[in-house]
């Protein structure tokens, strides 16, 4: 259900609204009991005190709140136990002081060494047995029963009568206010952790937990232990109630409590996201109390929960920026790991990393520097401050680098196409340090590192020699290593049309790793070219397919003759031209400079130096999620009309129609389109 707030409240500030939604409307002042939004199977017991179906203890609803960025839903926890309103009391209820008789019973119970002795003690105990003593007796019986099973080869079923067990559970439930959290946890551990606990006993345990939540006597830290015990999916409803119960008492939680909660919140639970929203509000309020340990634990917990909460991530980045010189290495690594999983750029975190790396200089740990550069590669953000600091660090400390450090710290230079300072010394050091760790590189990492050097037009004869030796040990089924090996061994010098047919022919389009959006656009582009040419298109190119999407061969009259010559490229006349086409997408560009990433920039220079037409198209600029065949026809015609006589002009008759506007919006070219060619 959804609770609407009046227009007067909607005009209040965002801070007041959220406080109202999370405090006043949470379990209090609701005015009536509401039906649960989540299905519930009531827990039953076999005691003489058997109750009817019980309503859902908690459910989650929402209230509408207005913030500066628009109207949002604020989660509200609602309680459904009759007309009872939960009291603002502390979790820890005082257990009544034990009488002399109860103390004596506990001493005698501790002396019992067999099930028979425990049962004999029960016979002598008056009927005033409390919940506390009943729980201790149940635990003792279970422990003795396990010992009996361990000492017998064929122990069989439990020796204790179900009737006795049911009576004891009934007493524990009846005097629930004297049942401590410790006893409840131990009961659950003893009886629920069996491979196949008896259904009646299991129901009793679950009923006790539910009863303590109803009476508001379940301690906040008891939830942690019970969460571990109730991991079975069959108990997901109760597990959800447990976390709603403890979260509903958020006013009693301090920052240490929240950090402990994040360590224990179950992942993949229906309520997890809503719980994090409530915790988010609390963190914003008390975030100033966080230390380095706190921010590290929050980051690692969010990684475990696979939480993509942008508000929490933004707050973590801001905290890191303000406290970057106080944060410990392990905690900074946790922050970096979380943002690597998010795969999103955050300016505050980038500025914090720049301050950290620049300030530490050569004192920064190799692992931190490597993870920092890895994060920049993931988000495609070029930071000259960090890149220059990393090159200086490598020249000073490269002798201490592991294979992982070498890969993560050196690869980004080719990835971004960024020339390191003091290039000669940099690559000379690489020729010394990389061979030392050559045998420790994982998978295709060494070949990827060699490729990054090629993208900077740096071919190392030392590394190429080692690469040839290592290729002998590549598993035939290891496609990734074979693929990157062939790329790493490619010659960087220009090629001619005659040598195209011999150029890395083993690399096919099956090695493409473009995302789904790019694959769909690729199919549209093939259809667009086919419409323009009124004929087939060469697209399954066995020549550097990771850099070429389509290929056209035109004669001296600019007519496409690709179908006739595609299998006889060594016979292409000198008067003919080969045109290579590459589709570029936002992920091929650096997000802050707009420049092509190193691999694609190097390819463009490579083919230009070979006097081969290499045409790039960017049909999807940042913010444009999809295109159409009609718009792609305009892209191809605009780029290629001077090189190819197309049979169809997509601009003819368009004028200032919506289609033309869509094309202009999808490209940086805002100039007037070319004049229609003669049909």
Please give the angle made by the CA atoms of 425, 430 and 432, to the nearest 5 degrees: 95
The CA-to-CA distance between both ends of the chain, in Å, stands at 64
Q: For residue 75, tell me if it sits in a domain.
A: yes
Q: Per the domain annotation, does 506 fall within a domain?
A: no
Instruction: Give whichever of 143-152, 325-334, 492-501, 579-588 has the largest mean pLDDT.
Output: 325-334
Tell whether 379 is covered by a domain.
yes
- Tell me whether residue 449 is in a domain: yes
Q: Are residues 103 and 77 in the same domain?
A: no
Residue 136 lies in a domain: yes
Q: In this structure, are 334 and 421 located in the same domain?
A: yes
pLDDT at res. 33: 29
Q: Which residues contact 620 (CB under 8 A, 6 or more apart)?
A: 517, 521, 585, 586, 626, 627, 666
Q: What is the pLDDT of residue 80?
A: 59
Q: What is the pTM of this model?
A: 0.72
Tokens encoding 622: 């940042």
In the prediction, which pLDDT does 476 show?
Answer: 63
pLDDT band at 371 (very low <50, low <70, confident <90, very high): very high
pLDDT at 367 over 90: yes
Tally of domains within the chain: 4
- If asked whether residues 484 and 594 sit together in one domain, one would say no
> Do residue 565 and residue 468 come from a single domain?
no
User: Once rounded to an integer, what is the mean pLDDT over residues 427-453?
Assistant: 88
Q: Are residues 309 and 417 in the same domain?
A: yes
User: Of 71-80, 275-284, 291-300, 411-420, which range is least confident?
Assistant: 71-80
pLDDT for 27 equals 36
User: How does pLDDT run across 114-132, given as a tens digit for each residue?
Assistant: 888 888 888 876 566 888 8
Pairing of strands 550-554, 70-79: unpaired
DSSP state of 547: T
242-256, 461-475, 631-645 — most confident range: 631-645
Same domain, 435 and 291: yes
Percentage with pLDDT > 70 across the chain: 65
Statement to judge: residues 566 and 620 lie in one domain: yes
Look at residue 208 and tell me if it is in a domain.
no
Same domain assignment for residues 558 and 439? no
At 95 the pLDDT is: 55
For residue 71, being part of any structural domain is answered with yes
DSSP-assigned letters across all residues of 269-319: -TTHHHHHHHHHHHHHHHGGG--HHHHHHHHHHHHHTT---HHHHHHHHHH
525 and 476 in a common domain: no
H or E segment to which residue 384 belongs = helix 384-397
Of 161-165, 438-442, 484-488, 547-551, the poorest mean pLDDT is in 484-488
Question: In this structure, are 534 and 436 located in the same domain?
Answer: no
In terms of average pLDDT, the best of 279-283, 382-386, 641-645 is 382-386
User: What percent of the chain stands above pLDDT 90?
Assistant: 19
Q: What is the pLDDT of residue 66?
A: 61
Q: What DSSP string runs through 587-656?
A: GGB-TTT-PBPHHHHHHHHHHHHTT-EEEEE-SS-TT-----HHHHHHHHHHHHTTT---S--TTTTTTT
| 63 and 106 belong to one structural domain | no
The average pLDDT across 157-170 equals: 72
Q: Please state, rounded to an integer, the average pLDDT across all residues of the chain.
A: 74
Q: Which domain holds residue 654?
A: 519-667
Give domain status of residue 572, yes or no: yes
Top-confidence residue, 15 or 305? 305
531 and 560 share one domain: yes
Most confident of 95-99, 208-212, 255-259, 360-364: 360-364
Q: And the tokens for 417?
A: 């196409």
Task: Give yes or no for residue 623 having a pLDDT over 90.
Answer: no
Q: Which residue has the higher pLDDT, 568 or 638?
A: 638
């Amino acid at each position: 259900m959804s609770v609407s707030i009046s227009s007067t409240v909607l005009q209040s500030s965002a801070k007041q609204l959220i406080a109202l939604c999370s405090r006043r409307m949470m379990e209090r002042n609701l005015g009536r009991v509401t039906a649960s939004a989540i299905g519930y199977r009531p827990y039953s017991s076999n005691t003489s005190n058997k109750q009817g179906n019980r309503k859902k203890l908690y459910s989650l609803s929402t209230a509408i709140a207005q913030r500066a960025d628009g109207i949002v839903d604020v989660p509200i926890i609602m309680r459904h136990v009759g007309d009872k309103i939960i009291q603002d009391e502390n979790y820890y209820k005082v257990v009544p002081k034990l009488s002399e008789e109860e103390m004596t019973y506990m001493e005698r119970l501790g002396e019992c060494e067999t099930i028979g002795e425990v049962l004999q003690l029960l016979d002598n105990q008056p009927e005033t047995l409390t919940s506390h003593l009943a729980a201790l007796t149940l635990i003792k019986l279970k422990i003795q029963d396990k010992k009996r099973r361990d000492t017998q080869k064929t122990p069989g079923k439990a020796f204790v009568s179900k009737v006795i067990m049911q009576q004891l559970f009934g007493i524990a439930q009846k005097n629930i206010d004297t049942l401590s959290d410790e006893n409840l946890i131990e009961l659950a551990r003893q009886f629920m952790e069996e491979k196949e606990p008896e259904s009646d006993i299991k129901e009793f345990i679950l009923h006790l937990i539910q009863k303590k939540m109803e009476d508001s006597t379940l301690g906040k830290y008891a939830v942690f232990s019970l969460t571990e015990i109730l991991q079975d999916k069959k108990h997901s409803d109760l597990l959800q109630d447990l976390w709603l119960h403890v979260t509903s008492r958020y006013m009693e939680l301090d920052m240490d409590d929240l950090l402990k909660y994040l360590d224990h919140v179950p992942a993949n639970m229906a309520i997890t996201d809503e719980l994090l929203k409530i915790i988010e509000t609390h963190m914003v309020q008390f975030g100033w109390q966080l230390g380095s340990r706190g921010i590290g634990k929050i980051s690692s917990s969010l990684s475990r929960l696979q939480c993509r909460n942008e508000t929490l991530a933004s707050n973590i980045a801001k905290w890191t920026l303000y406290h970057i010189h106080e944060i410990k290495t392990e905690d900074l690594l946790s922050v970096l790991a979380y943002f690597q999983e998010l795969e999103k750029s955050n300016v505050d975190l980038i500025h914090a990393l720049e301050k950290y790396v620049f300030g530490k200089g050569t004192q920064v740990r190799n692992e931190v520097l490597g993870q920092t550069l890895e994060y920049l590669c993931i988000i495609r953000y070029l930071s000259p401050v960090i890149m220059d600091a990393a090159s200086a660090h490598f020249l000073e400390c490269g002798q201490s680098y592991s294979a992982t450090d070498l890969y993560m710290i050196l690869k980004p230079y080719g990835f971004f196409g960024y020339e390191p300072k003091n290039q000669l010394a940099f690559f000379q050091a690489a020729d010394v340090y990389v061979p030392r760790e050559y045998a420790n590189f994982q998978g295709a990492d060494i070949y990827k590192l060699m490729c990054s050097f090629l993208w900077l037009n740096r071919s190392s004869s030392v590394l190429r020699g080692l690469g040839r030796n290592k290729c002998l040990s590549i598993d035939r089924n290891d496609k990734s290593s074979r693929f990157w090996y062939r790329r790493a061994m490619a010659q960087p010098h220009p090629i001619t049309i005659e040598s195209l047919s011999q150029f890395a022919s083993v690399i096919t389009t099956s090695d493409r790793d473009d995302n789904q959006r790019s694959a769909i656009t690729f199919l549209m582009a093939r259809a667009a070219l086919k419409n323009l040419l009124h004929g087939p298109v060469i697209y399954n190119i066995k020549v550097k397919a990771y850099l070429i999407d389509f290929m056209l061969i035109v004669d001296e009259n600019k007519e496409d003759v690709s179908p006739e010559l595609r299998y006889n490229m060594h016979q292409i006349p000198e008067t003919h031209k080969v045109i290579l086409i590459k589709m570029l997408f936002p992920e091929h560009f650096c997000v802050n400079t707009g420049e092509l990433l190193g691999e694609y920039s190097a390819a463009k220079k490579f083919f230009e130096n070979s006097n081969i037409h290499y045409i790039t198209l960017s049909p999807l600029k940042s913010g444009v999620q999809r295109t159409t065949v009609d718009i792609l026809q305009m892209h191809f015609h605009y780029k290629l009309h001077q090189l190819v006589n197309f049979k169809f002009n997509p601009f003819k008759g368009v004028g200032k129609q919506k289609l033309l506007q869509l094309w202009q919006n999808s490209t940086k070219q805002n100039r007037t389109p070319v004049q229609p060619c003669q049909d």
